[in-house]
Structure 1
Amino acid sequence: MAKYDYDLFVIGAGSGGVRASRVAAAHGAKVAIAEEHKVGGTCVIRGCVPKKLLVYGAHFAEDLADARRFGWEVPETRFNWATLRDNVLTEVTRLEGLYSENLERHEVEIIKQRATVAGPHEIALADGRTVTAGRILVATGATPVVPDFPGAEHGITSNEVFHLDALPKRIVIAGGGYIANEFAGIFHEFGSKVTMVNRSDIILRGYEEALRDRLLQISITKGIDFKFNAAFEKIEKAEDGTLTAYLTGCDPIEADAVLFAIGRRPNTDGLGLENAGVRIDDKGAVVVDADNMSSCDSIHAVGDVTNRVQLTPVAIREGQAFADTIFGDNPTRVDYENIPSAVFSHPPLAGVGLTEGQARDRLGTVKTYTSDFRSMKNVLAGRNERSLYKLVVDGTTDEVVGLHMIGPDAPEILQAAAIAVKAKLKKADFDAVVALHPTMAEELVLMR
């Protein structure tokens, strides 16, 4: 008889957990995965997928206006939030079904209830059962942080924003990171009056400074209001549903919705990890080594719950590496160097590698090359919005160590360009490529 009920029990059916389950099962392991919400996790259900669909919807605001400059007779347009919301949620439901079917096809048992750790090899299920596993993988992700002040319960997070009954005419967004800036662009294009409240005077900390400044300039020009160095004191709700946000350093702001986008914390509360001696850091993250192993050698963790790099593709890579290492006899580790990332703001920005500041701190001698231009489409559409591309180059070796872009389709262009940075190509290699004209991407090989 088998020593355990399962070879692998995964807690959390998000991107990392699903990939680990499927690959481990393909390697011959008996696998179960527990999910108390919906299969697919944050990215598919209440994160990057539905958000990107909202981004697509928001783009039509400018595209329809621009179409008139290109000869199209576009009648007066009106946006219907309920139509987009419902279509997005329908797509999310379809994707959840596909994720479930994929797991079932690989003979992974799906347990749709909460699971917690009862010991190094024991899992307690919400229905009262206890099962055992040779390995336990924690892939519970992270959850939005909700601040603690009077009236904070009147605000929402990115979990609830996809389910709003009506489009808020006025929305206050707390935060300066990628989620805050993405939703600021989305709601502005839908016609909402957007006010962003940030505790510091910096947006998108960690991204290239020139791109941050350009996005801020464009956002202000579009009409998004920014309140910097401001903190919430309280939120009051009137009988008609109007919210009044009281802030330090500025006048109260009336709004129909307040969205908190101030960060995400790992989902480890109440998970029972202490029952197996799993070490948690001061931010609530599971502490793991390079092979995703916790302080308990039968329990591993991948994805946002480890708080290493909170990106869906990273969680997927970690889940794959875990399964290949433990069940596939193929020791694999994730390379965290030069991970590309994007912000689907309006316009979007993307980057890979070192920023200019990081490069100067690490390398000393640095060369930078920039291209500041208006796309052909914006020129004909009469938009003054300018794109900015930047190469950061090691002044000693000529290696391109960073590539940063803001402008239409920047994330789509960067995915291919990131290969060059990952491959440690030199500026001369970029210069040797013939430009693909007329495109925005050709600017990457024309900077001198």
Structure 2
Amino acid sequence: MAEDYDYDLFTIGAGSGGVRASRVAAAHGAKVAIAEEFRVGGTCVIRGCVPKKMLVYGAHFAEDLKDAQNFGWSTQNATFDWITLRDNVLKDVDRLEGAYTDTLENHDVTIFHERAEITGAHEITLAGGKVVTAKYILVATGARPQIPDVEGAEHAITSNDAFHLDKIPEKIIIAGGGYIANEFAGIFNEFGSKVCLVNRGDQLLRSYDEALRERLLLISMKKGIDFKFDTVFEYIRKTDDGRFKVKLSTCDEEVVDQVMFATGRKPNTEGLGLEKVGVELGEKGEIKVDRFSKTTVDHIYAVGDVTDRVQLTPVAIREGQAFADSVFGGHDPVAVDHSCIPSAVFSHPPIAAVGMTEGEAKNKLGSVKVYQSDFRPMKNVLAGRDERSLFKMICDGDSGKIVGIHMIAPDAAEMMQAAAIAVKAGLTKADFDATTAIHPTMAEELVLMR
């Protein structure tokens, strides 16, 4: 396409968004190159949602094996080996990295396994010194864990390191109140760690509906997780035996085996040469883009977590697809709709949601109707597990249009994917009421709420 440049598109970052954009652009006929300084696949595949979900599956067996006894199964001699799970997860990460690499190579995308920096208009310099040019540049470098300014912070791990531990810590303090903190609190707790979750604020998962947050807190406490709110770290100091002395603002000093920070993520924009070529950054270092993912420089675009719009893998993929279709697809520009995005927290049990919370709906719409189902799943009844699920449906009070669905229940995320389609399509409570239930299932509560 671009005879005056080495490439039509040069992508910096081979994560989910960058890979999708590069593959689709190449399929449209563009000559594409991509640079990745670490491993092809990015955060999600290598050190994020994919390996984490495998740990979640592994952790669930702890409860499943206990519950199985009331279903007639003998599981008294069951044992858990962390190294086996860890190594199997890392092996599958290797497989996925190979699959992502194959996808790029099968579309004739040139892969540079090194860092890249924008050094001029349409110019990229690779770490090895090679200089190339491109008509368009896409930045898809993602984000990384934010480390708080605390004495001894270098002794703590982040979610990046959790997949490589040599053993499960007997006692761990996790800092944070978001989805990563709650997910790893559940994982380590099920693996037998004594877990304390420390949050500088007064609530968990602030973007989720209050009723779900309260239910997760109650269940997590019953499972043995300790919570400390309005609390900050004063210091972390390593002991002679390799453990850590931790002083929290609301507690006496204690000794733990591990400290983990899950306190947000910071866009990876340092050292890319963005400011030198006129790309505007936000207060958090995020790349500012328009609705078509274009930066303040016409030929430079950005997608995914580096823009800090919505830090979710499927969003990065949709942004990458829209960019490639818009620039190389030969039709009108495509913008991603960032409203009504479903999400999940793979806690124990998981939370899933789409649309507005009850509080948001009341503030925006005024008149709302709230329907809910608070029940004990059939499996929990027979297992003797006193753990209740909660579904909430938020509707416009005048039209009956569903503006939000929220649930905490086993397999909540699996149910939410289909429910999110209905909310996105603008269906009403009456549409759900007119749908016959599948019995017996948890999902039938979606069409039975009163």
Please give the TM-score of this superposition, normalised by the length of structure 2.
Answer: 0.99
Aligned residue among 313, 332, 335 for 2:334: 332
Matches within 5 A, 1:338-377: 338-377=340-379
Matches within 5 A, 1:159-198: 159-198=160-199
Structure 2 residue 241 is the aligned partner of structure 1 residue 253: no
Cα shift at 1:75: 2.7
Query: Partner letter of residue 181 of structure 1?
Result: N
Task: Give the secondary structure class of the aligned counterpart of 2:289.
Answer: coil
Q: Distance in 1 between matches of 2:334 and 2:438?
A: 37
2:133 matched to which residue of 1?
Answer: 132
**Does structure 2 retain, via aligned residues, the 8 Å contact 1:31–1:108?**
yes
Query: Partner letter of residue 109 of structure 2?
Result: V
Cα shift at 1:33: 0.2
Structure 2 residue 304 is the aligned partner of structure 1 residue 303: yes
1:417 matched to which residue of 2?
Answer: 419
**Does structure 2 retain, via aligned residues, the 8 Å contact 1:12–1:41?**
yes
Count of residue pairs the alignment pairs up: 448
Task: Give the secondary structure class of the aligned counterpart of 1:160.
Answer: helix
Cα shift at 1:249: 1.6
Stretches of structure 2 that go unaligned for 5 or more consecutive residues are none
Task: Give the secondary structure class of the aligned counterpart of 2:163.
Answer: helix
Query: Partner letter of residue 426 of structure 2?
Result: K
Query: Partner letter of residue 40 of structure 2?
Result: V
Q: Distance in 2 between matches of 1:56 and 1:251?
A: 35
Task: Give the secondary structure class of the aligned counterpart of 1:49.
Answer: helix
Q: Which moved more, 1:162-171 or 1:72-81?
A: 72-81
Matches within 5 A, 1:74-85: 74-85=75-86
Query: Partner letter of residue 152 of structure 2?
Result: G
Task: Give the secondary structure class of the aligned counterpart of 2:335.
Answer: coil
Summarize deviations over 1:22-76 as a string: whole Å, max 9, x none. 0000000000000000000000000000000000000000001111000011132
Q: Which moved more, 1:73-82 or 1:39-48?
A: 73-82
Cα shift at 1:329: 1.5
Q: State the 4+ residue runs in structure 1 displaced beyond 2 angstroms.
A: none
Please give the TM-score of this superposition, normalised by the length of structure 1.
Answer: 0.99
Query: Partner letter of residue 13 of structure 2?
Result: G
Q: Distance in 2 between matches of 1:323 and 1:282?
A: 27
Query: Partner letter of residue 428 of structure 1?
Result: A
1:53 matched to which residue of 2?
Answer: 54
Cα shift at 1:130: 1.0
**Does structure 2 retain, via aligned residues, the 8 Å contact 1:120–1:275?**
no
Query: Partner letter of residue 114 of structure 2?
Result: Q
* CA RMSD, 1 decimal: 0.8
Q: Distance in 1 between matches of 2:161 and 2:125?
A: 29
Stretches of structure 1 that go unaligned for 5 or more consecutive residues are none
Summarize deviations over 1:303-327 as a string: whole Å, max 9, x none. 0000000000000000000000000
Query: Partner letter of residue 152 of structure 1?
Result: A
Q: Distance in 1 between matches of 2:422 and 2:275?
A: 44
Structure 2 residue 34 is the aligned partner of structure 1 residue 33: yes
1:408 matched to which residue of 2?
Answer: 410
Q: Distance in 1 between matches of 2:431 and 2:64?
A: 35
Q: Distance in 1 between matches of 2:75 and 2:148?
A: 44
Task: Give the secondary structure class of the aligned counterpart of 2:159.
Answer: coil
Percent same amino acid among aligned pairs? 67
